[in-house]
Structure 1
Amino acid sequence: MIYLLCYLTVLLGACRQDQSSGNVAFYKRSVSVSLKPLINAAIFKAKDDPAAAIPLYEKALAAAKLHKDEVAQVKCYRMLVFYYSIYKNDFTHAIALSDASILLAKKINDPGTYSDLYASRAVAYSVAGKLNEAADASTTALQYLQQDKAPDSLKNFPLYNNLAVLHTQLGNYNLAVENANKFLKHYTPLKDTARMIGAYQTMSNAYYQANDTVNFRITARRAQALQRAYPDKTKEYIVNSLMVALYKSIKDYDSAKVVARQLLKSDSNMNTPRYFETLTQMMEIADHANDTAYAASILKRGIPMQQLLDENLLPLSLRKNVFDGYYNILKMTSDKELAKVCVEQAYRLSRELRKQEINKDLEKYEIERKKVMQENVLLSKDLQLTRKSNTITVLIMGAGLLALAGTAFLMSYRRKIQIEKNRFELLEKEQQWKQSKAVLEMQLVERTRIARELHDDLGASLTSIALSTELLKRKHPQLDTREIRIIAENATQMVDQMNQIVWTLNNNNDTLQSLLAYIRKFATGFMDDNGIEFTMHLPRFTSEHILNGSVRRNLFLTVKEALHNIVKHAQATSVTLKVTITETKQLILHLTDNGKGMTGQKEEMVSGNGLRNMKANIQTIGGTIIWLNNPGGGTGITVTYLLKT
């Protein structure tokens, strides 16, 4: 995750070098006057909308070909390859443009031009995930760069760092460090702090992936030291990510927490991948440190299930890592039900990732197969042109066929081994899921038994206490009934609270319909006892909605607290509860009364213990609650909760 951020930073930096880079003699030839407005218009448009600049660059390229302006053609080709790769994700068209640009470079025969155009080709391969091809293109670009006679100030030296990042992704860590060091040695005498930070970031990523903790700590701390003294904070996030990894490697979890908190504070937008990358790091800290309190503080933020289920918002691998992180910290906080949901989502995303890997393997196999076929075609043509003897021709063709058959057999065998490995992993995951399911079923049985015993034993005892106090008052009216009345009221209240606990524990009540029936029963009796008219409007149910005990309890306690507040403070004569389920599966509870409304400031009202408890109950389950004075008088309370599908 960290090296990917560094790679994108270097990639963009490498492709946005001064467009006068390359051979001085060639770039002394400026763009013709008639083409400058077209290219300037494309550059200006790209600042606001890079994708919209593509048609302008294509128009400029067509005009440059017409005027035979090679300088303009090179500039247009470079930018079109880059924009089609990054903003259009059209790899085929980007490579076609790159092929055309290479043909132009052969005509110009300028090392600097070759270097720039192969660098843009590396961008196209990198964005398409073809890392080996990207590394080859970057290596070729550097070879031409070394042949270029232009001054160093005009050369594209960030190509070294670009290649280092690619080698890190490919697992060639020694080559990655070697190229990053070349990049660093060039810019250290120039005191180019930004590029020095980039070099140390790349080296620390390579050392981190190679499990070289000693060199990783050295380079990461150097990157941090340079960043602290550097006024431009654009790379601060990447450096802080490295420091989190550093502190985790040395088990300094307190420092890791501080840096992670700074990362989250710098980007609190929950609709960006960076937010969830930071959240994943925080959960890893809690898991490695076995810090239950820290895990609970992360869970207080709520689980952004809506963002995690949005396939267009976050990459598949990132969503899988976030669900794994939530599963680990939920196990620590003993929230087994929510942990089960997260591990099921992580398992589902793992299967999708595995499918993608299989598709990539098939694509690589197809590319290799086409290469072998092309080699055979070229070999056959070469044999026809040289007119060798039939014996030699047969031997060579036989050797080619044997090589093809051997390659196909080897790839098929390796593929079979990989499929078997994936199958065993899948079976292992299924076994773990079955074990988790059995544990959860045992817990449900235990919940039911506890609920039954509470109702049968404790409930009977409390009811007996209440009845006994009533009989005592009747048989001995001369006694002071204040203490007896307190005992009777407490016993009755405990019976009600016990019944609520039993209702919460009973998994047979884990539905929205059961919750609404329970609310209706309580509210009707409570309002009648206080002389207030109560009306409840229910939606038409088209399917059954499952609610776990925690959600049911928090929703019920919120409605109960609201009704108590109405009786105590509102001076109302009627109360209405309207229940709505939207098309997006939002459950809305809207409670209104005709009382005097909230007389104080809303901020002061919400800060009270009762209303603060209501807000905490709803936030615990990931919902929202709003208090408002109704225009016609009275108070309105709206509770919103996203139903799980």
Structure 2
Amino acid sequence: MKQSYLVNLLFIKLLIATFSTALAQVPKSLDSVMVYLKTHTVQDTNYVIALNVMGRELHEKGNPDYNRADSVLRVSEKLAIKLNYGLGLSRAYTNLASIYYLTDRPQQALEYFQKALTTAESYKLSPRFICGAISNVAAALSKLQQYDKVVAMQLRSLRLQEQYNVQPRIATTYGGLGTAYRELNKPKDALVYYQQALALMQVEKNIRGMAIIENNVGICYDGLKQYDKSLASYRMALKHAEDVEYELLQADILVNIGLALKLSNRFKEGIPYVERSLAIGRKQQNKGTMATAYFNLGQIYEELKDYKPAEANMKKALELATERGDKEQIANYTQGLADLYGGMKNFQQAYVYQLEKNKQIDSNTVVRTSAEVQRLVAQYKTEKKEQEIKLLRQQAQLRDKELINKRLQTNALLIGAILLLLLGAAVSAWLLNRSRLRRLEEAQKLRKQIAHDLHDEVGSTLSSISLLSGMVNSLIAQKRPEAVERAIQKINTDARQILDAMDEIIWTINPGNDSLQRIAMRLQEYAQPLMESKAISFSFQTDPALADIPVSMEVRRSLYLIGKEAINNLIKYSEATQATVRFARRADQLEVLIEDNGRGFDVTKPRERTGQTSMKQRAEAMGGSLDVQSAPEQGTRLVLTTAIAG
């Protein structure tokens, strides 16, 4: 588990430091600025600057006093408004946002970073300051895990820097882009931006910033499984962090060194580094740092088959995460304990923790529980624990039957409720306006579509799992271990297929995905590995103007299915070496282009296997059109056009 959370906290401090320098006549250290404020009786713009410096120093020092810093900055805000001093007001908002960011209040941090940006733009402050304010907004969006918006904001900052020739370029903008791409599982892209940020910070002699970037570079190399490079980056980061005496950053880096050593199968070497991180967490009384160190110590001991300290450390980690209410850590640590107990052959405890993890992830899905239990079965089948496996499978089957029965009952109630709604709509049709009736019809259509998808995607595979599970008992009795293994492998494969199908259905109905940007990202994630597997040079382009345009669930589903079908056809039949997918806005129209340089085909003789009829029907159903242009040896060009709002 990479310790990148703290890096983001430290990175925001670097952003603030970059864009909150004071005037030369105002002292910059905490002690000297306090003396200045006592002796400087005139409440002018310099007084505002001094208050901002004091507020920044109070929340950035080794033992931060966030409450006092907040009070000082509120005074600065009021005085800046009174003096109509835009620069001082924007800095006050920036430092207040930094406090909220560092105390795990990302939504408030985003609000105040946006206030700082709006103020900077309205007072027409320097381009460098405005670009830095944009990067601060991106940092808050990163904390909220809205990485597509982070990329858009940071690129906006870069474009402004190029437009106004801001020199030197702002290092934290490149670093923020690197972090966003890293979180989007694009470590190679992230490294490009991190290296640019590092070069700029070396010129500025920004040691703290260099430590943060080197740490992030190490995380990227870990993702690429280049552990020698990641260890070199981590050790350089640790040296820089020690030079500036930043202990929490040191704790972060020490954990990552321990993890890189673990991934290199140098388990015992990693223990002292993680223990040093734990000691810093205790000294700083930072429960998040302590929880991370405890959990990673537990994982190292698990690799060493030393289960007693592994169990103790992981339980301490889960306890601290629960105290903090950190849902992500709780989920990760619960899964870690389930895996640990599985390795200890304590299947009952493994089952308990696995079910707890499943409740946290998806309490509405029956299939996921079954798949995870089958994962445990597959993991330990080589230990020849036929009796334990048989008992576990029987428990899973019993639970599956109970949950499936409950789902059938729920579906029956749902269908009954839908019929009642339809009956009520028919009786009161003259009393309802047309828009409300249309919404009811859309809801009915949505429910039917979900039921149809669940039946098509899940029903037959569940039946297959049920039949195979019944066969395993008989195969065990016949002492046919190879047949048992094949059956269990088939069950695992079917369960994974169900998970993939459920993932697509859940993604489709999730209102958080109601934007064209999300659809584009989903298609890119689907297409990229397929293109790479066929050695196709692939370009995926998205118009930034589409970023915040909402779309309905039905349109989103149709767009995704059309794009997926077209990409599958391209992979299977085109024999192309180059392919392009582009989302663009043309006035109030969305245009989706999917193009390749493959062998093409005669459009006057459409083949059923290409699914053209189905794609055109989907396009027409959402009020759009689909144009397919192709000729033998001339490649294929598919253009989908539909209306968009906003």
TM-score, structure 2 length as denominator?
0.48
Scaled by the length of structure 1, the TM-score of the pair is: 0.48
